[in-house]
Structure 1
């Protein structure tokens, strides 16, 4: 905590120096004693009172992100009073990242204009934008579900609100960024300055992460972005807490040797064979909300499908379609090895996995040649280097870790493939589906085919 606020204090002090260097002549020409310019906070208060801004704007100084906004507001007021409030001046101010005010301050003749054209009062709009930005950054953030990895708990086209305070507000680690953007603007053009990086700090949580909570987090293996809070967002179900032992046998999850509780919306891959007549896929999609349907093979009037289904929908298909010969889970055999399963060279697959222990903060792990491939990622993350010779070493875990899986168990890129989620990667808890749109997944921008899922709009999430 102390390191975070120390970094923020240093950043704010640098902002003050930049502000003083770029505006001291404006103060002087306004008849303000020069010594007042050098008093932190008071010099901001003077400008707010001079230009009839509410002193509540002072609260924007509390965080690096909002303090930048405040200084730009004050600079716009200053250049307007000195006859530089035209659209092109505002354009130069923003797109020069504030350097334009230095140009005016040092190289232009400035004179306060007594009678200036009254500028349009956009205070309401400005405050609305600031309030929205603060809410988005520190309280609740909207997301859209782009993939089917969480069906049928979360559907493609669900728009959700995620609380950032339930699991403890994690303060931003990249203080300079474009508001309302995440990591990239267009292509690989980053929306933030990666040189500045704040230490990790999180406020105490309202509640801790519970087993089976749906959680939004930053993807630990995102190599394109080094700052934690700028890594890609993922949403999965937390099936393993720090200290848990997990395993999967024949596609069934066991936590601490206990079979998982029945999850009605959990989906798995099923193989279906029909004779003479193919499945009515339009009925499956439109009437039963089944999207992941793949025709595997067709021969001699026999049709083979792989479909992602819940147990409830398996029963419905058996009862509805008379031409179904069989329907069974598509389970990988125990000896089948998936190349990209976690950890490397484990010999596991999505349906036969583990047992795997989830590290807990403060645990002392005895390292050896049998488990080093499991914990080397953690050691590299926490210490910044790998251990090449693990012989009978002990390592103390510095963070809590979680194991995440998608509800669409056979169509989810999750912890089975890339490992644990560190606690500092946790973003928040989904609390509400505020909008849900059923769109064509092959052509989502075809607005004419969009349909509202009325039964999901404003649906509170458990």
Structure 2
């Protein structure tokens, strides 16, 4: 009888049923309670499923419309951004660009699933639309954008992602002399992170490459020649690292910047123009929205690119003397100036290709660049984790505080339940 009172209310009906069934009513009670428990479990499962669905929808909305994670795969932005930096990119700073390919696989892929199998359907495409920006693109901003010359993907927001520094704004005049950038005839402001190639010669003893990699965090080291106890190297360095190496090794004969000669032509340079190369480039005018450009034999090679972006028939333009530019364009360069595929080689970035502004490094892993999937060689760069892109503010302590608080809450919650 006590068992009946435990599971059911103390009513005359339950007592009579128990007595009339000679106690067999207890089996019914047991069966009934199991059904009730199953119902509770089903309700709990439905609540869990709703929670999971909500989390997926929330993640998708955040990823698509607010902030998107990226990882730095190459050294073109060293030493500002390192290979293995995981960054968050704001999509609203420069104005949210609405998705153009509505039918796609979200989260895990950008443009390809495996090999050349695309992760989206290109038949359906929304027109370009961007909301008003929180701030306009400023000179020297670091920007994530879609690579304009990606011929494998025609839809803009499915082109490969690049990250560079915007050194030229619409209407600017860009030129490079002896590896030094000039914008509107003014020399660029120097910054510590900028890298370029250096030649180093040592005598009798080669450079201690292991020391340079492990202790000084220098990765791009190439031994060019070795003869008669003389060793020649090309290394990507900033000025601070170059000075440290010079003072550290007594056997260094010289260390100097590797600047290409003025008349040396790089065939891969933008539009394969004249005698330009990475260190002697321009002058080149950056097109600006609304400006009226006079077309001639000197600039038609530049505006052929613009005609392509703005979907203008090139043959119709041959008879015209002027052209009104429809969009703004930007000139991008990597901070690792001699190891960067940027606007010097493939031209301008149209404004509709801009994705967003990097704001945060949430994780940084130093991995073996030849075998990045070997997790046993991973090393966390604690001095870069939870830092803003300019390294002025660190939130690592807040991260640990939040994690500790969540752990205490979780343990306390389990203990109560």
Distance 2:382 2:42 in 1: 47
Distance 1:177 1:285 in 2: 41
Q: How does 1:166-185 map to 2 (within 5 A)?
A: 166-180=93-107, 181-185=109-113
The match for 1:49 is: none
CA 1:388/1:308 → structure 2, altered by over 3 Å: closer, same or farther? farther
- Are the equivalent residues in 2 in contact too, given 1:266–1:408 (CA < 8 A)? yes
Residue 123 (structure 1) aligned to one of 50, 57, 60: 50
Q: How does 1:402-413 map to 2 (within 5 A)?
A: 402-413=330-341
The match for 1:260 is: 188
Residue 249 (structure 2) aligned to one of 321, 338, 355: 321
The match for 1:27 is: none
SS in 2 for 1:304: strand
Q: Deviations over 1:396-447 (max 9, x none)?
A: 0000000000000000000000000000000000000000000000111111
The match for 1:147 is: 74
SS in 1 for 2:282: strand
- Are the equivalent residues in 1 in contact too, given 2:262–2:275 (CA < 8 A)? no
Structure 1: 5+ residue stretches without partners = 1-114
Please report how far the alpha carbon of residue 387 of structure 1 lies from its aligned counterpart in structure 2 after TM superposition: 3.8
SS in 1 for 2:306: helix
Please report how far the alpha carbon of residue 209 of structure 1 lies from its aligned counterpart in structure 2 after TM superposition: 0.7
Distance 2:291 2:271 in 1: 20
- Are the equivalent residues in 1 in contact too, given 2:95–2:133 (CA < 8 A)? yes
Of the two structures, which has the highest relative contact order with CA contacts closer than 8 Å and spacing of 6 or more? Answer: 2
- Are the equivalent residues in 2 in contact too, given 1:264–1:311 (CA < 8 A)? yes
The runs of at least 4 consecutive aligned structure 1 residues that moved more than 4 Å come to none
The match for 1:414 is: 342
- Are the equivalent residues in 2 in contact too, given 1:169–1:202 (CA < 8 A)? yes
Please report how far the alpha carbon of residue 388 of structure 1 lies from its aligned counterpart in structure 2 after TM superposition: 7.3
- Are the equivalent residues in 2 in contact too, given 1:294–1:306 (CA < 8 A)? yes
Please report how far the alpha carbon of residue 393 of structure 1 lies from its aligned counterpart in structure 2 after TM superposition: 1.1
- Are the equivalent residues in 2 in contact too, given 1:217–1:234 (CA < 8 A)? yes
The match for 2:278 is: 350
Q: How does 1:98-137 map to 2 (within 5 A)?
A: 118=42, 120-121=45-46, 122-137=49-64
Q: How does 1:388-399 map to 2 (within 5 A)?
A: 390=318, 393-399=321-327
CA 1:392/1:200 → structure 2, altered by over 3 Å: closer, same or farther? closer
The match for 1:78 is: none
CA 1:383/1:213 → structure 2, altered by over 3 Å: closer, same or farther? same
The match for 1:439 is: 367
Distance 2:368 2:313 in 1: 46
Q: How does 1:322-341 map to 2 (within 5 A)?
A: 322-341=250-269
Q: Deviations over 1:45-75 (max 9, x none)?
A: xxxxxxxxxxxxxxxxxxxxxxxxxxxxxxx
The match for 1:138 is: 65
SS in 2 for 1:216: strand
Please report how far the alpha carbon of residue 386 of structure 1 lies from its aligned counterpart in structure 2 after TM superposition: 1.7
Moved more, 321-330 or 382-391: 382-391
SS in 2 for 1:131: helix
- Are the equivalent residues in 2 in contact too, given 1:153–1:265 (CA < 8 A)? yes
Structure 2: 5+ residue stretches without partners = 1-38, 391-417
- TM-score, normalised on structure 1? 0.74
Q: Which has the larger radius of gyration?
A: 2
Q: How does 1:16-95 map to 2 (within 5 A)?
A: none
SS in 1 for 2:215: helix
- Are the equivalent residues in 2 in contact too, given 1:369–1:391 (CA < 8 A)? no
Q: Deviations over 1:173-196 (max 9, x none)?
A: 001111112111111111111000
SS in 2 for 1:296: strand
Please report how far the alpha carbon of residue 392 of structure 1 lies from its aligned counterpart in structure 2 after TM superposition: 6.0
Residue 449 (structure 1) aligned to one of 354, 367, 377: 377
Please report how far the alpha carbon of residue 345 of structure 1 lies from its aligned counterpart in structure 2 after TM superposition: 3.1
| 1:186 equivalent in alignment to 2:119 | no
Please report how far the alpha carbon of residue 344 of structure 1 lies from its aligned counterpart in structure 2 after TM superposition: 2.6
Matched residue count: 347
CA 1:388/1:322 → structure 2, altered by over 3 Å: closer, same or farther? farther
CA 1:389/1:191 → structure 2, altered by over 3 Å: closer, same or farther? closer
| 1:458 equivalent in alignment to 2:386 | yes
